[in-house]
């Protein structure tokens, strides 16, 4: 949850009105787990928030936060211009094709490379929904011990957890829909046309690239970019805690 991954911002007046609101969600979670009977090094015990809740309930609150963040990230990217219209995650041509793009530009045919880039991003947008169920399954399998590690970890600990526990499965599960989406978006045909024109130029070296692997890997980078931002929002912004349990746990 690369936004904190939930929504930036409440005003200073709101934070001043509630001492706990000024704490990060990380600090609040440490307090809550401590009050729920889970020893969390470095936590303080002055808060009354969450008192009486079990450690399992508190861990479920974190699961809710993670599910909210990952779902929001996938939804943001899995729509028209989710990748193409966003400079933070837009997928460029594979590095191997930079030479092709430059050579075609020299003869006024760079539009072919631009077209391929557009179609690759469209394919990534189409394939994103396949990631949602994988995230949800990993999050719901999280243990109290996992939750404690996340709350004791760095600001992007939840995102790191998701990448560690879902990365391999996501990579494997996303490749088939990415391959199909590349075909549906016309990226494969555009790639063949571009390389055909390139190879007709005199004296150029052979070049090839795996569009599916490249698009998948950059698509995963985009997902985790926004998962991290969503995580940041949830940790920092009370207004981002939109489920009953999130409000109960985090106030």
Long-range pairs for 10-14: beta carbons < 8 A, 24 or more residues apart: 10/237, 10/238, 10/239, 14/238
> What pLDDT does residue 154 have?
77
CA dihedral sign, ordered 11, 63, 55, 249: positive
Cα–Cα distance measured from residue 154 to residue 77, given in angstroms and rounded to the nearest whole number: 25
Question: Which residues form the domain of 222?
Answer: 2-250
Place of tokens 């994988």: 134
Listed in order, strand segments (DSSP E) in 125-180 are: none
* Two tokens, residue 186: 């016309």
> What pLDDT does residue 14 have?
29
**Regions of the chain short of the pLDDT cut 50:** 1-30, 32-33, 35-51
Place of tokens 């460029």: 92
Number of domains, the chain: 1
Cα–Cα distance measured from residue 32 to residue 35, given in angstroms and rounded to the nearest whole number: 5
Cα–Cα distance measured from residue 129 to residue 142, given in angstroms and rounded to the nearest whole number: 22
> What pLDDT does residue 112 have?
92
User: Each residue of 176-234: pLDDT tens digit?
Assistant: 999 999 999 999 999 999 999 999 999 999 999 999 999 999 999 999 999 888 877 77
Q: State the DSSP string of 120-137.
A: HHHHHHHHGGGGHHHHHH
Cα–Cα distance measured from residue 47 to residue 27, given in angstroms and rounded to the nearest whole number: 10
7 three-state secondary structure:
coil
Query: DSSP character for 19?
Result: G
């Amino acid at each position: 949850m690369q936004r904190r991954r939930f929504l930036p911002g409440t005003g200073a007046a709101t934070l001043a009105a509630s001492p706990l609101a000024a704490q990060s969600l990380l600090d609040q979670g440490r307090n809550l787990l401590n009050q729920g009977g889970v020893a969390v090094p470095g936590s303080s015990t002055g808060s009354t928030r969450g008192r009486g809740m079990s450690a399992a309930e508190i861990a479920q609150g974190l699961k809710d936060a993670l599910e909210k963040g990952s779902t929001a990230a996938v939804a943001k990217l899995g729509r028209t211009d989710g990748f193409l219209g966003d400079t933070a995650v837009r997928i460029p041509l594979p590095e191997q094709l930079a030479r092709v793009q430059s050579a075609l530009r020299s003869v006024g045919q760079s539009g072919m490379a631009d077209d391929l880039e557009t179609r690759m991003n469209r394919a990534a947008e189409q394939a994103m929904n396949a990631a949602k169920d994988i995230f949800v399954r990993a999050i719901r399998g999280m243990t109290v011990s996992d939750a404690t590690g996340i709350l004791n970890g760095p600001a992007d600990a939840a995102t790191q957890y998701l990448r560690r526990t879902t990365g391999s499965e996501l990579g494997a599960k996303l490749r088939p829909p990415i391959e199909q989406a590349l075909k549906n978006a016309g990226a494969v045909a555009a790639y063949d046309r571009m390389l055909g024109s390139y190879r007709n130029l005199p004296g150029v070296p052979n070049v090839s690239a795996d569009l599916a692997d490249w698009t998948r890997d950059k698509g995963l980078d985009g997902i985790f970019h926004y998962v991290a931002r969503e995580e940041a929002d949830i940790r920092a912004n009370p207004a981002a805690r939109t489920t009953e349990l999130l409000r109960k746990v985090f106030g």
